[in-house]
Amino acid sequence: MDKNQLIQHLGLEPHIEGGYFRRTYESADKIPIGDSSRHLLTSIYYLLSDDSPIGHMHKNRSDIIHYFHLGEAVKYYLISPQGELQTVILGQALHRGEQLQLLVPGGYWKASQLVCHSNAGEYTLISEVVSPGFDYHDMQLASKQQMHKDFPHLFAQIKGLIKA
Give the model's pLDDT for residue 60. 97
Tell me: pLDDT of 94 over 90.
yes
Residue-number span of the structural domain to which 33 is assigned: 3-161
What is the number of domains present in the chain? 1
- Check which CATH number belongs to the domain holding 41 and give it: 2.60.120.10
Using alpha carbons, select from 49, 52, 27 the residue that is nearest to residue 40.
27
Q: DSSP letters of 9-66? A: HHT-EE-TTSSEEEEEEE-S-EEEETTEEEES-EEEEEEEETTB-EEEEEEESSEEEE
- The pLDDT of residue 118 is 64
Confidence of residue 82 (pLDDT cuts 50, 70, 90): very high
pLDDT digits (tens, 9 = 90+) for 121-161: 799 999 999 999 999 999 999 999 999 999 999 999 999 99
Residue 163: pLDDT band (50, 70, 90) is very high
Give the whole-number percent of the chain exceeding pLDDT 90.
93
Averaged pLDDT for residues 111-115: 96
